[in-house]
């Protein structure tokens, strides 16, 4: 039986960013250095495939520090942690390695700097997301006001509307965030902020690439986990840019082939926490069913790398 033809437009960059690469290396190197088990507070990155692979090597994933013993090293996930977490680990004299992405740490430092200048903070982010919890937790309770939408800006009641600064989660939608920043500037003309927002290079680049692909395709798949903020934003970006059928899939087995029957152009990307093997798996699943022409749509090149903490570069 001959296979129907299909063009697969692969958005690039896609997949692992420098912060994810570093966080996974940290867990692997910690297991090498100290042996198993190594505890990891929260999924190191939001990807089941990555987490399962590290678990097989000897990592134990827990949600809270209180679930870790005192005498085994613990790693904090790429999303960052509230100040109270390393403070408690130090109090318990635990060995810990912080795998917070340096671009998240940069936002933590920004928040502290504004706080030291006497400004109250507004954080643009998603309630309950570990990065938002970690970033808000850099300052004392109540110092950071959270806004999730432009509508939320109207109901903010800051101590002094002239003494405000804002920060953002790193994995937000660039376009939605611009709308929220505009609402903040309109209501609080003196609010201080970063040059644009704190969305990282990887999030920005993956969204740009999806914008280039979305108008070319009848369906777009994003490889990523349901709890991955940056991956879910890619699904929304595709929809907002003309591709109505845009779906998050964790791997090839989740593709709804019936739903895309008859299409001739499909877009594909992967969130910053999705490994290359899953991208290859999905491409191969398409090749099994279609005569695939692979078309790379590359809107940026990335060559950023982050070093692992010194403790892991030194011999045991
Ligand atoms: O928060 C981060 C530093 C991004 C980490 C990589 O992506 P992921 O999927 O683990 O996390 P998000 O839910 O934040 O996108
Ligand atoms: Fe860091 Fe952005 Fe990746 S904040 S972990 S480079 S998605």
Q: Mind listing the pLDDT tens digit for each residue in 233-247?
A: 999 999 999 999 999
Contacts with 140 (C-beta within 8 Å, 6 or more apart), sequence order:
none
For 53-90, the pLDDT digits (tens) are: 999 999 999 999 999 999 999 999 999 999 999 999 99
Q: Is residue 149 assigned to a domain?
A: yes
Overall number of domains in the chain:
3
Q: Is residue 227 assigned to a domain?
A: yes
Which are the catalytic amino acids? Answer: 131
Asked whether 269 lines ligand 2 (CB < 6 A), one says no
Q: Which of 61, 86, 101 is the last residue of a domain?
A: 101
pLDDT at 7: 99
Burial category of 141 from C-beta neighbours within 10 Å (exposed 0-12, middle 13-18, buried 19 and up)? exposed
Burial category of 161 from C-beta neighbours within 10 Å (exposed 0-12, middle 13-18, buried 19 and up)? middle
For residues 117-139, give the mean pLDDT: 98
Q: Are residues 97 and 124 in the same domain?
A: no
Q: Is residue 256 assigned to a domain?
A: yes
Q: Annotate 7-39 with b (16+ C-beta within 10 A) or e (fewer).
A: bbbbbbbbbbbbbbbbbbebbbbbbebbeeebb
User: Above 80 in pLDDT, residue 24?
Assistant: yes
Asked whether 45 lines ligand 1 (CB < 6 A), one says yes
Q: Are residues 155 and 81 in the same domain?
A: no
Asked whether 77 lines ligand 2 (CB < 6 A), one says no
Q: Is residue 311 assigned to a domain?
A: no
Q: Which of 101, 121, 136 is the last residue of a domain?
A: 101
- CA nearest to 41, candidates 172, 136, 134: 134
Q: Are residues 181 and 212 in the same domain?
A: no
pLDDT at 277: 98
- CA nearest to 65, candidates 93, 37, 42, 47: 42
Q: Are residues 122 and 54 in the same domain?
A: no
Q: Distance between alpha carbon 128 and the CA centroid of its chain, in Å?
A: 14
Asked whether 107 lines ligand 2 (CB < 6 A), one says no
Among 46, 125, 132, 205, which residue has the most ligand 1 atoms within 8 Å of its CB, making it the best to mutate? 46
pLDDT at 312: 98
Q: Are residues 205 and 289 in the same domain?
A: yes
The rounded distance, in Å, linking the Cα atoms of 17 and 21 is: 6
- Domain containing 279: what range? 5-16+201-298
Asked whether 270 lines ligand 2 (CB < 6 A), one says no
Asked whether 171 lines ligand 2 (CB < 6 A), one says yes
What is the CATH number for 27?
A: 3.40.50.11270
pLDDT at 314: 87
Q: Are residues 115 and 77 in the same domain?
A: no
Per-residue pLDDT band for 175 (boundaries 50, 70, 90) equals very high
Per-residue pLDDT band for 1 (boundaries 50, 70, 90) equals confident
Q: Is residue 137 assigned to a domain?
A: yes
The C-alpha angle with vertex 61 and arms to 60 and 64, in degrees rounded to 5, equals 120
Atom of ligand 2 nearest to the CA of 171: 7
pLDDT at 268: 99
User: Above 90 in pLDDT, residue 280?
Assistant: yes
CA of 22 to the centre of ligand 2 (A): 10
For 194-235, the pLDDT digits (tens) are: 999 999 999 999 999 999 999 999 999 999 999 999 999 999
Q: Is residue 65 assigned to a domain?
A: yes
Atom of ligand 2 nearest to the CA of 203: 7
Q: Are residues 123 and 152 in the same domain?
A: yes
What is the CATH number for 215?
A: 3.40.1010.20
Q: Which ligand has an atom closest to residue 22 CA? A: 2
pLDDT at 315: 79
Q: Which of 80, 101, 122 is the last residue of a domain?
A: 101
CA of 3 to the centre of ligand 1 (A): 37
């Amino acid at each position: 039986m001959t296979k129907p033809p299909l063009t697969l437009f692969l958005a690039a960059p896609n997949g692992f960013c420098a912060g994810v690469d570093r966080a996974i290396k940290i867990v692997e190197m910690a297991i090498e250095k100290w042996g198993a088990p190594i505890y990891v507070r929260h999924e190191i990155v939001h990807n089941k495939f990555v987490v399962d692979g590290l678990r097989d090597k000897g990592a134990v994933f827990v949600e809270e520090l209180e679930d870790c013993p005192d005498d085994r090293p613990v790693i904090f996930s790429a999303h960052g942690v509230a100040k109270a977490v390393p403070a408690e680990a130090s109090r318990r004299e635990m060995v810990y390695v912080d795998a917070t992405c340096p671009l998240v740490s940069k936002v933590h430092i920004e928040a502290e700097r504004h706080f030291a200048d006497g400004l109250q903070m507004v954080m643009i982010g998603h309630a309950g997301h570990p990065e938002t919890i970690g970033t808000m937790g850099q300052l004392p309770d109540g110092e950071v006001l959270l806004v999730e939408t432009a509508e939320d800006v109207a109901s903010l009641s800051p101590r002094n509307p002239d003494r405000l600064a804002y920060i953002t989660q790193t994995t937000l939608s660039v376009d939605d965030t611009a709308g929220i920043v505009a609402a903040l500037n309109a209501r609080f003309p003196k609010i201080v902020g970063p040059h644009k927002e704190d969305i990282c290079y990887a999030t920005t680049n993956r969204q740009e690439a999806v914008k280039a692909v979305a108008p070319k395709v009848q369906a777009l798949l994003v490889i990523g986990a349901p709890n991955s903020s940056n991956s879910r934003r890619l699904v929304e970006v595709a929809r907002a840019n003309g591709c109505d059928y845009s779906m998050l899939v964790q791997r090839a087995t989740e593709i709804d082939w019936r739903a895309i029957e008859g299409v001739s152009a499909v877009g594909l990307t992967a969130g910053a926490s999705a490994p290359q093997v899953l991208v290859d798996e999905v491409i191969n699943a398409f090749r099994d069913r279609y005569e695939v022409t692979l078309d790379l749509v590359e809107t940026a090149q990335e060559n950023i790398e982050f070093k692992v903490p010194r403790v892991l570069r030194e011999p045991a």
